[in-house]
Amino acid sequence: MTSDRTPSGGIWDRRYQALEAQNLDRKLRVSLGPTAETFLTRDGERLHFCSNDYLGLANHPQIAEAMCRAMEQYGAGTGASRLISGHTELHAQFEAAWAQWMGYPAALSFPSGYQANVGAISALTAPGDIIFSDERVHASIIDGCRLSRAQVVIFRHNDLQHLAELLATHTVRDGVRLIVTDAVFSMDGDETPLGALCALAEQHGAQLYLDEAHSVGIMGPEGRGLAHREALAKSVAVHVSTFGKAWGLCGAMVATSSLAVAIIRSRARSFLFTTAAPAFLSAGLLRGWDIVRQGDALRQRLQSNIAVFCERAANLGLPLIPSTSPIQPLVIGSAQAALRVSQALWERGIFVQAVRPPTVPEGTSRLRITITAAHETAHIDALLSALSACVPPSGDAPNRPREDDTP
Ligand SMILES: Cc1ncc(COP(=O)(O)O)c(C=O)c1O
């Protein structure tokens, strides 16, 4: 057996022990089956309430079949980054059709949403520009802001009065002012006030960058997302969709003007310096897109599952953060307490992950419960019964801003 001693003179050992001591070390649960409403392990099944597979498509036979067929034609791998060895007609076809559907002149796909945000934000901004960021945006947006070396100004979560003050006092002479936000916030499940945000951006001559990771596929006509639900797509300069959530696969698309896409294609390090996603992914995404577009019944089922969960949780007095999205967070407080509740649920047959800092602010570790269209009412009742047995009565905690993961 190889030695497991770290070669850092004990530094990594001490760093890991410090993480452990704060209950901030991470471990992986191992599944023996597909992503679905149950999570299959060596010691049996758990009901799965922490995947972002909101429409239950991760294991859809038609999507899997489309991917297998594409693999027969295009093979398994792509060989290099798209700028080095080109891409397939499936990549190109998907991008062109997506841009049209979203109402933008052009679109560029990425292997993941993380890469899309890091790449697009850092490519479209530079030193001398200003980025105005909601304090709760996803880590990929935070990292894109950091990489851009633009000035980053943070506004309080969904506080447009604060943003207006910052826009009035932070001006540029010859540069971009970019407002960045999630459409639905990944850890709280609440929505950005898009109408007022667009009006503010326009009033101050700023550009809006909207990440629809948790809204595309589940909101708006044909699942086109929040901007289309509010008929505001024209006010969103850069629009990001990801496919690890409602599509149940992975990948992302940035839709914007042709020149902005040309800049991202030429400058985004997470596009330039990474191997192209396989063509079979585009094939799966294209097939999934048909299902999403025609997915009103799935969206209704999802909304009805969310409503059942919220109503019954309220009757039980469970202190959920108010949210009408599939993300239903239950704040526990300390990282240790959240881990304890998550483990107690696991022992009762329920898989809900404890989310801890730096993903959420200190003191607000939580169960990030996700409800999907694949759940049955009986599953939701089993979850609620386990929650009422495992969650301590004073689950609430103060909502302080995170300190170590702001842009
Ligand atoms: C708002 C938001 N944007 C981007 C991402 C990253 O997407 P991906 O998982 O495709 O890398 C996530 C992932 O959870 C997210 O919540």
Residue 400 pLDDT > 50: no
Q: What is the pLDDT of residues 116-175, one digit of tens each?
A: 999 999 999 999 999 999 999 999 999 999 999 999 999 999 999 999 999 999 999 999
Structure letter (DSSP) for residue 184: B
Give the Cα separation of 116 and 237 in Å (integer): 15
Residue 241 CA to ligand 1 centre (angstroms): 9
Out of 138, 142, 188, give the residue to mutate to test ligand 1, the one with the largest number of ligand atoms within 8 Å of its CB: 138
pLDDT at 31 (0 to 100): 93
pLDDT at 2 (0 to 100): 67
pLDDT at 238 (0 to 100): 98
In 13-100, DSSP assigns E strands to 38-41, 44-48
Residue 397 pLDDT > 60: no
Residues for the chain: how many in total?
407
Cα of first residue to Cα of last residue in the chain, in angstroms, is: 42
pLDDT at 406 (0 to 100): 38
Q: What is the pLDDT of residues 138-153, one digit of tens each?
A: 999 999 999 999 999 9
The residue with tokens 């841009």 is: 99
Residue 199 pLDDT > 80: yes
State the average pLDDT over residues 210-235: 98
Confidence of residue 103 (pLDDT cuts 50, 70, 90): very high
Which helix (DSSP H) or strand (DSSP E) does residue 227 occupy? helix 226-229
pLDDT at 9 (0 to 100): 77
Percent of the chain with pLDDT over 70: 95
Burial of 76 (0-12, 13-18, 19+ CB in 10 A): exposed
Give the Cα separation of 15 and 379 in Å (integer): 40
- The amino acid present at 183, given as its one-letter code, is A
State the average pLDDT over residues 69-85: 96
Give yes or no for residue 137 CB within 6 A of ligand 1. no
Residue 141 CA to ligand 1 centre (angstroms): 9
Identify which of 312, 291, 345 has the alpha carbon closest to the alpha carbon of residue 56: 291
Backbone angles phi, psi at 156, to 5 degrees: -60, 150
Give the Cα separation of 239 and 69 in Å (integer): 30
Give yes or no for residue 140 CB within 6 A of ligand 1. yes
Confidence of residue 403 (pLDDT cuts 50, 70, 90): very low
Burial of 28 (0-12, 13-18, 19+ CB in 10 A): exposed
pLDDT at 160 (0 to 100): 98
pLDDT at 10 (0 to 100): 86
pTM over 0.85: yes
Residue 5 pLDDT > 90: no
State the average pLDDT over residues 16-26: 95
Identify which of 264, 267, 266, 268 has the alpha carbon closest to the alpha carbon of residue 256: 264
pLDDT at 193 (0 to 100): 98
pLDDT at 197 (0 to 100): 98
Interacting residues of 245 by C-beta distance below 8 A, sequence separation 6+: 52, 53, 54, 213, 214, 216, 217, 218
- DSSP assignments along 194-220, one per residue: HHHHHHHHHHTT-EEEEE-TTTTTTSS
Residue 250 CA to ligand 1 centre (angstroms): 10
Interacting residues of 374 by C-beta distance below 8 A, sequence separation 6+: 36, 37, 53, 55, 56
What structural domains does the chain harbor? 30-55+296-390 (3.90.1150.10), 61-293 (3.40.640.10)
Residue 82 pLDDT > 90: yes
pLDDT at 242 (0 to 100): 98
The order of strands in the sheet holding 252-256 is 106-110, 252-256, 238-242, 207-211, 177-182, 130-134, 151-155
pLDDT at 316 (0 to 100): 95
pLDDT at 44 (0 to 100): 92
Residue 218 pLDDT > 80: yes
Out of 140, 191, 216, 360, give the residue to mutate to test ligand 1, the one with the largest number of ligand atoms within 8 Å of its CB: 140
Give yes or no for residue 188 CB within 6 A of ligand 1. no
Confidence of residue 393 (pLDDT cuts 50, 70, 90): confident
Pick 224 or 398 by higher pLDDT: 224
Residue 321 pLDDT > 50: yes
Binning the chain into helix, strand and coil, the percentages to the nearest 5 are 40, 15, 40
Residue 41 pLDDT > 60: yes
Confidence of residue 392 (pLDDT cuts 50, 70, 90): confident
Q: What is the mean pLDDT of the chain?
A: 94
Name the 3-class secondary structure at 133. Answer: strand
Q: What is the pLDDT of residues 308-317, one digit of tens each?
A: 999 999 999 9
Confidence of residue 396 (pLDDT cuts 50, 70, 90): very low
Nearest alpha carbon, ligand 1 atom 16: 186
Interacting residues of 70 by C-beta distance below 8 A, sequence separation 6+: 90, 279, 280, 282, 283, 284
